[in-house]
Structure 1
Amino acid sequence: MQTSGYEQATLTAEVVAFDVFDTLITRPFMRPTDLFLFMENEYQAEGFAKARVLAEKLARKEIRQEVNLDEIYSLMDGKYRSLEEKEIELETEFSVADPYAKALYESVLAQGKRVILVSDMYLPESVLRGMLDANNYWGYEKLYLSNAADCNKASGALYRYILGDLGISADRIVMIGDNRKADVDNAVEQGLRAVRWIPLKERYAVSHRKEMAFCRKDRSAGASMLVATDMLMGAVDAEKGYWYDIARRFGGPMAYSFGNYLIRNSSGFDRIIFFSRDGHIPMLAYQELGGDLPVSYVYCSRKLCTAMANLNLTDRDAPYTVLKYLYATGRLADENIASIDDFESARDYFEKNSEAVRKACNEALEGYRSYLENELSGARKVLAVDTTTMRYTSQSLVTGCTDAEITGAYYATTAGSTLKHIVYTDRTGQRLTWSYVNLAEFFFSSQESPLEDVRDGKPVFSSDVPPEEAMRQKVQPSMEEGQLDYIRFASSIFHGRRICYDPDTVDGWLKVLISYEKGNDTERLSGFKWGVDKGHLDYRPLLFRASQLPFALKQKIAGKLK
C-alpha cells in the first residue's frame, strides 16, 4: 500500500489527527464483537457474547451515549462481571499495529507535525495508552477519548471539543480515519480537512474474496481469528514463492492447532514420540510452541509396519511390499523375488514360502524392538504422534515392541480402533476425505526419502527416488519455513495462548485452498501426485479428482473390512 497520498495531504497541516481503531490499531478478529465470542469459549461463559453486545446497546440508551466499560458491565448478569478485567487484558494483548498506518504515523512525526489521537471508545484512557505503547505509537500530543469527553465523533461534537481545547482554526487540522461518517464527513462539517484511511480489512477483502466468503459463512471466533491472522501476516510477510505461501497460509493453521492440541493433552506422559515422515512438522510445532516432554523422532513406515506387525494376505499390496522389503534388505535372499512384478505373483510366492517369509519378518521385528527401546529411554507412558491413520499400523507396531503404555495421538483418523488414542479431527464416517487426509500428510511431511529399513539403530532410505518424491523433497524446505513462520507469528499475536482452531473451521479453510487449485499444473498442488501404497509405487493426484472415485471407494471399503 502506498501512503504518499496521505503524506501529501498532511504537508500544509499544523495538526494531524489519527483515529485509533481500524486505523492505527487493529485486532486479530475480522469483526470486533468476535472478541466476545472468543471470551465465551476461552472462559466457558455460555451466553456471554450476546449478553455483552446487548448490555452495550442498553447502556447507550439508558445511561448515556458515550458509556465506559464499567457502565456496560453494570448492566450485565453478575456471573459475567469478572470478565471485565479479562476483556481489558485481551484488548491490550490482541492489539496489533497496521504496518502501513504505522509508517504514515512515523512519517508525519518526522515532518515535525503535531499529532493527536481521536477515538470513539468505551475503554478507559489508560488502556488505550497501554495499547498504543505496546505497539510503539509514541510522540502524540494528546489522546481525545469519547467516554472521557462525554461527546463523540459520530455526532461531530468531539471535533468542537478538540477545537476549543487546542485553540486553533479547524482548517489547520487534517483528520485521518477509516469511518466515512465519523472520521471524514463529520470532520469536514466542523471545518477540518479529512482523508479516509482504507483499513486493513478492506484492503484484504479486495484481493481475498473467497477467504472473506469463508468468514461470512463460518461465524465462529476461530474462523474470524484464522482469516485475520492470514490478513495480518500477509501485510508484513515478504513474498517468498508459491510453496511457502500455501504452506504458511493453509498448512500453518493446521500445524499450529495440532501442536497446541498435543501440548494441551500431554500431561501425564513422560515422553512424546513422532513417527517419520509426516510427524516431522508436528514435532517442530510442538517444540516451537513450548512443549516440554522429552522428544524422540521414531523411524517407521507403512512398509515396516506391514512386515513386522500388520501382515494381512488379503491386503491388496501387502505380500508384494513385504517380499520386496525383505529382499532389498537382504533378509530373504531368494533371486526369484527379484522377478516378481505383480501383486498376485507375490501372494502365490508368500503362500508357498510362508514359514521362511514369516521367520525373516520376525528377525526384522527383533532388530526394530531393540531400536525402539533405545529411543524410549525407559519411558513408561508414551504419547505416539502420527498425522493420519486408518489402521493404526505404527501404533500397533510400537505397542507390540515395548512394555511401555502407548497412547496414539493423531491429527486425523478415518476409522475407529480399540487401541488407546486421542485425535484432533475424527473423520470416521465421513464419506470422502481424500484431499483433507493427503493435505495433512503433505504439509506435515519431512524432506526425507521413503524409508527402506532401520538397521543397527539407524534409518536406511531409498536411493531410488521417483519424480513425485523428488518434487516433494524440492518444495519441502519452503513449506517447512512457511509453517514455522505462521506458528511464530500466531504465537506472538495471541501471546502464547493455546489456540486450537476447530477442525471443521480448518477444513473450511482448506476448501478455500482447494477452490484455487483447478487444472493440472505440475508446479502447483493441482497437478501434484502422492504415494498411496505401502511401497511408494502407486502415485495419484494429491487433491481429489473424479477419476479417482472408484479407487477411493475401494480403499474405503477395504479399510472397513480390515
Structure 2
Amino acid sequence: MSILNKLFSYNEDYKYKVWKIFGIRFSIVKKYKAKKVNIYEKIKKHNIISFDIFDTLLIRPYVKPTDLFLHIEKLYKIKGFHKNRILAEKSARGKYIDNEEITLNQIYEGIDEKYKRFKEIEIELEERILTTHKENKEIYDYALRIGKKIIIVSDMYLPKEVIEKILIKNNYTNYYKLYLSSELNLTKASGNLYKYIIDDLKVAPSSIMHIGDNYHSDFENARLYGIDAFFIEKIIDIFLKSNIRAEKLLHKDKNNIGFSIMLGLSAFSCFNKNKNENKENNYWRNFGFIYGGPAVFSYMNWLKKQIIKDNINEILFVARDGYSLKKVFDIIKPEYIKTHYIYAPRIIYYLIALDFKYYNLGDSVKSVLEYYKDKDEYLQKHTPKITSATQGYKFILNNIEIYKNLAKQEYQNYKEYIEKFNINKDNIGIVDTGSLFKTSQKIISLFLGKENIIGYYWILFKNKYYKSNQYKAKSFEKEVKSKISDWNLIEFLITSSESPIKNIVDSKPVYSIPSKYEEKRMEIYECISERIVEFSKIAKNCFWELETFIGNEGVTNWLNILINNPSDNDKKYFKSLRAYEDANHKDKAVYVIQRWFIKNKGRKYYLLSFIPFLRKEKFAGGEIKYYLFSFIPILKIKIIENMRKYYLFNIFNILTIKQ
C-alpha cells in the first residue's frame, strides 16, 4: 500500500482535487454543490439572532488581522513591534494555559518594556480602522426591524467598553446583550461560550441562530450545541480567491503593509455587485474600484503631502485627466485649499504661442492650420493641404503676421476664461498626469506667471532634446522600477467622460465629435469614476489622517500585475476600446492595453520541410496557442498562478496541472 501511495495518491484541499502520479501533480478545480439558503427566511424562524463581530459585523481593512501590528510599526517607526506583539500574545496564551481566553492587559504584561506604550495606540487604531460590513449590516437591521432579539458574541481579547464603543461608532445599536470571551473567560472555539449563552438566556438552543465567519467556531460549534448557524465567508477571502493577481502581489512581499491595506480596501469591491445592472457595467464598477481606486487615491495622497510642504493654497486640475483626481482630492484635502477643474488643452497653447519647437510637429502644425483656416479670408483661400509637417510649418512662417494677429484674439479669449476663476496668483499648483512638454502648465503660466506655479504630475516623460527646467514641477513616479508597463491604462482610468476639447469659446469648452471608441469610453467611464471615488471615501473613513502606505511603487506593482496577467473577461471588455496617441484624437487608435491583443512572434513547424504542419503563437501573460496547418485551433495553454491549464480546440478544459 505504501508503494502504491508513492506511485498514485489523492488528496483534497478547499480549492482542488489533486492527484500525484509518479511524482507529477495533477489537479482539477473542485466545485462544491452547496445548498442555497436564504438567510432572511432563516432569520424569520428564530427568536434570537446572534452575530459574531470581527469579519462579520466589522471589517479590518487588512489582508491579515495581525497586519494592524505591522501598521503600528510603520506608522510610529518602532522596529520589531509587529513580531514582538504576535509573540507576546502567543506567550500569554501559554502562560495562562488554564484560561480559555486572555485579555489585552495580559498580552502586554509580557511584552518588551519599549513596546508597552503601544497598548493604548493599538486600541485607538482598532477603534479608528474597524468599519461596517455593508451586507451584514443590512442583515442585522433586518433582524431588528422584524422584532428579533439580537445578541453579539465574540472571541476577543479587547475590553468590553472598547468593543461597545466601536459597535456604537458603526451604528450597531439596540442589541440585547454582548458576550465577550475576554470578559467571561469562555470561547466559541471551545464551545463553552454557547453553553453559557443558552443557560444565561434560559431558552431552547433551537430558538437561536448564530451568524459568523469562522467555520469551526461560528458554524460547527454552534450547531454542536443545538444552535442553528449560518456561515458567511470573510470578504478578504472571497476577494483573494476571486482575484489571482492579489496573490501575485502578496507573493512579492507578504509583509508589505501598503499591499495589505490596498488589498484589504479593494476587498470592499465584493459589495459592488448590483443585480439591477448588466454584467458589463458591474465589471467596470469593480475595475474602477479595485484598480482605479488605489491608483488615484495614492496619487492624491502624495499630492496632499506635497502641496502642504510647498505651501500651495490653490490647485488647478487640468481637464480631462483631472476629473476623478479632483473628486478624490476634494475628499482628502485640507479645508483651506481651493480647487478648480480647468480646461487647458494642448491645442490652445499651439494657437496662442505658435510654438512648434520640440513638439510633435505634424499634430501641432496640422491643428493650427485647420483651426485658423476659417478665421481669415486669405488663409481660407491659400492654406495648403499639407503633405508634410515641414510644408505646413513653412506656410505658417511665411504668413506669421496673420497668425500672430489671430493668436492675440485667442489669447484674449482664453484670458476671459481664466479670469472667471478669480485665481490668486501666488502659490498655485497645477495637476496633470503624464507630460513631456508641460503644455498645460505653460498655458496657465502665460496668464498667471510661471514663477507662481508648481506642476504636479504622475510622471514627467523625458526627452534628450528637450528640457524645461524653467517650469517648476514634481512627479509622483521617480524610480525606474516603478514604471507603468502601459501608460494608456492610467489615462483610461482617469480621463473624464467628455469628448476631446477643441477650444474654449465664450468661456465654455468646445468639444470635438467623438469617435465610436470615445463614445464607448464615455459610456462606461462614469461607472469607473464613481467607484474610484467610493474607494477613496472608504479609505478616508477607515484611516482619516493616518498614513496608509499605499505609495507609487505598490500601486505600480498592482497595475503591472494586471497588465501582465489578463483574464479572458478583461480581454472581452477591453477589446472594443481604443486609446488615441495623437493630439487630435483622430488617428493612431491603439488598444488601451496593447500587449493583451498583440501576439509575440510565432513559430511554424513544417512537414517534409515545406508543408506548414503546426503553428505556435505566444501571447502576453504566458498564453500559448497551437494551430494545425497554421489555421485550425487545436490546443491552448494558459498559465494561471501555480496552474497550467490545457484547452482542446481552445475551448474545452481537458487537463489542469498544479505545478
* Pairwise same-fold verdict (TM > 0.5): yes
Match of 1:230 among 260, 266, 273: 266
What is the match of residue 460 of structure 2? Answer: 413
Task: Give the superposed CA RMSD.
Answer: 3.9
1:196 and 1:395 mapped to 2: Cα distance?
55
> Are the structure 2 counterparts of residues 376 and 407 from structure 1 closer, same or farther at C-alpha, using a change threshold of 3 Å?
farther
8 Å contact kept, 1:29–1:225 = yes
Match of 1:177 among 188, 212, 221: 212
8 Å contact kept, 1:256–1:500 = no
My pick for the range that moved more, 5-14 or 278-287, is: 5-14
Structure 1, unaligned stretches of length 5 or more?
A: 550-562
1:153 partner SS: coil
Match of 2:71 among 19, 38, 50: 38
What is the match of residue 387 of structure 1? Answer: 433
What is the match of residue 176 of structure 2? Answer: 141
Query: How many Å apart are 1:513 and its aligned residue?
Result: 4.9
What is the match of residue 281 of structure 1? Answer: 324
2:144 and 2:367 mapped to 1: Cα distance?
69
Look up the equivalent residue of 2:392 and give its one-letter code.
Answer: A
Query: How many Å apart are 1:124 and its aligned residue?
Result: 0.5
Asked if residue 445 in structure 1 is aligned to residue 495 in structure 2, the reply is yes
The within-5 A match list for 1:523-538 is 524-538=573-587
My pick for the range that moved more, 47-56 or 288-297, is: 288-297
Query: How many Å apart are 1:382 and its aligned residue?
Result: 0.8
Match of 2:340 among 275, 288, 296: 296
> Are the structure 2 counterparts of residues 110 and 212 from structure 1 closer, same or farther at C-alpha, using a change threshold of 3 Å?
farther
Query: How many Å apart are 1:325 and its aligned residue?
Result: 4.1
Match of 1:121 among 156, 161, 166: 156
- Percent identity over the alignment is 27
Look up the equivalent residue of 1:383 and give its one-letter code.
Answer: G
> Are the structure 2 counterparts of residues 112 and 385 from structure 1 closer, same or farther at C-alpha, using a change threshold of 3 Å?
closer
What is the match of residue 88 of structure 1? Answer: 123
2:216 and 2:194 mapped to 1: Cα distance?
13
Structure of greater relative contact order (alpha carbons < 8 Å, 6+ residues apart): 1
What is the match of residue 553 of structure 1? Answer: none
In the TM superposition, what whole-angstrom CA distance separates every residue of 1:459-482 from its partner, at most 9, and x where no partner exists? Answer: 452444433333333334443333
2:330 and 2:496 mapped to 1: Cα distance?
15
What is the match of residue 370 of structure 2? Answer: 324
> Are the structure 2 counterparts of residues 226 and 237 from structure 1 closer, same or farther at C-alpha, using a change threshold of 3 Å?
farther
1:482 and 1:80 mapped to 2: Cα distance?
39
Match of 1:544 among 581, 588, 594: 594
Match of 1:260 among 297, 301, 306: 301
The within-5 A match list for 1:431-470 is 433=484, 435=486, 437-454=487-504, 458-470=507-519
Greater share of residues in strand: 2
What is the match of residue 396 of structure 1? Answer: 442
Asked if residue 27 in structure 1 is aligned to residue 60 in structure 2, the reply is yes
> Are the structure 2 counterparts of residues 56 and 421 from structure 1 closer, same or farther at C-alpha, using a change threshold of 3 Å?
farther
Query: How many Å apart are 1:121 and its aligned residue?
Result: 0.9
1:484 and 1:543 mapped to 2: Cα distance?
23
Query: How many Å apart are 1:273 and its aligned residue?
Result: 1.3
In the TM superposition, what whole-angstrom CA distance separates every residue of 1:248-302 from its partner, at most 9, and x where no partner exists? Answer: 4332333333333333332312321122221222222222334432233332122
Greater share of residues in helix: 1
1:266 partner SS: helix
My pick for the range that moved more, 417-426 or 164-173, is: 164-173
> Are the structure 2 counterparts of residues 398 and 91 from structure 1 closer, same or farther at C-alpha, using a change threshold of 3 Å?
same
Total equivalences in the alignment = 545
Query: How many Å apart are 1:178 and its aligned residue?
Result: 2.5
Match of 1:426 among 478, 489, 495: 478
The within-5 A match list for 1:493-512 is 493-495=542-544, 499=548, 501-511=550-560
1:426 partner SS: coil
> Are the structure 2 counterparts of residues 278 and 193 from structure 1 closer, same or farther at C-alpha, using a change threshold of 3 Å?
closer
What is the match of residue 10 of structure 2? Answer: none
The within-5 A match list for 1:107-256 is 107-108=142-143, 114-166=149-201, 173-188=208-223, 194-215=229-250, 217=252, 219=254, 220-235=256-271, 238=274, 240=277, 241=281, 242-256=283-297
1:449 partner SS: coil
1:5 and 1:36 mapped to 2: Cα distance?
37
2:377 and 2:490 mapped to 1: Cα distance?
34
My pick for the range that moved more, 125-134 or 315-324, is: 315-324
> Are the structure 2 counterparts of residues 355 and 430 from structure 1 closer, same or farther at C-alpha, using a change threshold of 3 Å?
farther
1:38 and 1:199 mapped to 2: Cα distance?
21
8 Å contact kept, 1:3–1:104 = no
2:570 and 2:195 mapped to 1: Cα distance?
62
2:505 and 2:143 mapped to 1: Cα distance?
66
Asked if residue 68 in structure 1 is aligned to residue 103 in structure 2, the reply is yes
What is the match of residue 312 of structure 1? Answer: 357
2:582 partner SS: coil
TM-score, normalized by length of structure 2?
0.71
What is the match of residue 560 of structure 1? Answer: none
> Are the structure 2 counterparts of residues 56 and 332 from structure 1 closer, same or farther at C-alpha, using a change threshold of 3 Å?
farther
1:524 partner SS: helix
1:330 and 1:47 mapped to 2: Cα distance?
73
Look up the equivalent residue of 1:379 and give its one-letter code.
Answer: K
> Are the structure 2 counterparts of residues 127 and 471 from structure 1 closer, same or farther at C-alpha, using a change threshold of 3 Å?
same
Query: How many Å apart are 1:109 and its aligned residue?
Result: 5.0
Match of 1:49 among 78, 82, 98: 82
1:535 partner SS: coil
2:500 and 2:49 mapped to 1: Cα distance?
61
